[in-house]
Amino acid sequence: MNAKKKILITGGAGFIGSHLAEALLAQGCRVSVIDDLSTGTRDNIAHLMENPDFHFTRDTIMDEMVMRKLVDSCDEIYHLAAAVGVKYILEKPLQSIHTNVQGTEIVLDLASKGNKKVLVASTSEVYGKNPSSVFPENADSILGSTKTSRWSYACAKALDEFLALAYCRKTGLAAVIVRFFNTVGPRQTGRYGMVIPRFISQALHNLPITVYGDGKQTRSFTYVGDVVKGIIDLMATREAVGDVCNIGNPQGITIEDLAKKIKEMTKSSSELVYVPYSQAYGEGFEDMRYRVPDVTKIHALTGYAPKVSLDEILERTIESMKDKRSEAG
């Protein structure tokens, strides 16, 4: 009988990590999760705790001794632990840089020494202020001033990619890098600025739906289940090692239209209120007009194509948030 594959997920109590843990357990893997619960929650993984193939460690990836034990006992690593969300980055810039750079270096070094395959989660933020409307992986990164904290996240994640690729070239580490574009769905929180749960919460409470800027900025949204399947398939693809892939939905929508759609789907009496970036995030905040991925590469490697439409994503997320309200009430 084949031994079960042992997987380590850093940041596994987070939104994407908890869905990934579910999917890997369903495939018959043993799953270990480490999370310091700074942005993840026990609620996300509570339903997994009784599974004998699931193990949770509450600790930080900065603790090298703990990480060494976890890496030694796994076959593959999905490195998702990171400081995420524009609001969180702006509120905790130093902690964010430490986690995103030093934490990733610890993971990569241990993975290299232990000869473990690792997936490194990166972000569409690395494209920065590039004015393109669609982003292939080789598009230029155009970052703002170092005096604008907003760009520290993009810079840190770009450094993560440089580190992973350097380890691949110099030590033979089998690393796969994935740039996420707005992954959404049940369990995501609006606490750190995530737009869909924030809009839905406001709409369900008939509060003003606060659109930052003029609302004409275009984003794309991908269901977490499509993303999880995509990264699992990518990890199983030898040709993806040492490369960078976007993962997301090539269909974009303006934030203003997204707010209108959520208002209509929730039958909300909320009004749309436009809030200047300076009021939402402070003076000097910079945003980009477009953030839509080119997914040609990942489709060629794995056949990836998002299956869940935006309307379906919103329906599922609205129902999930309604259920949470009912449980809380």
Q: What is the 3-state secondary structure (H, E, C) of 181-208?
A: CCEECCCCCCCCCCHHHHHHHHHHCCCC
Amino acid at 162: F
Whether residue 86 has pLDDT greater than 70:
no
Give me the amino acid identity at 254: T
Sequence spans of domains, the chain: 6-183+222-249+291-307
277 classed as catalytic: no
The pLDDT of residue 39 is 86
Q: What is the pLDDT of residues 235-246, one digit of tens each?
A: 999 999 999 999
Query: Which is catalytic among the residues 78, 88, 153, 223?
Result: 153
Cβ(74)–Cβ(32) below 8 Å: yes
Provide CB contacts within 8 A for 111, sequence distance 6+.
71, 77, 117, 118, 167, 173, 175
Average predicted confidence (pLDDT) for the chain: 93
Question: 244-247 and 175-180 as β-strands: parallel, antiparallel, unpaired?
Answer: parallel
155-164 average pLDDT score:
95
- Range from 68-72, 75-79, 123-127 carrying the lowest mean pLDDT: 123-127
What SS3 class is residue 73? Answer: coil
Phi, psi angles (nearest 5°) of residue 297: -65, -50
Q: What is the pLDDT of residue 87?
A: 67
Residue with tokens 């241990």: 110
Judge whether residue 192 has pLDDT over 70: no
Q: What is the spatial order of strands in the sheet that 244-247 belongs to?
A: 54-58, 30-35, 6-10, 76-79, 117-123, 175-180, 244-247
Of 87 and 159, the one with more pLDDT: 159
pLDDT band at 326 (very low <50, low <70, confident <90, very high): low
Q: How far apart are CA 224 and CA 141, in angstroms?
A: 26
**3-state SS, residue 122:** strand
Domain 6-183+222-249+291-307 of CATH type 3.40.50.720: yes
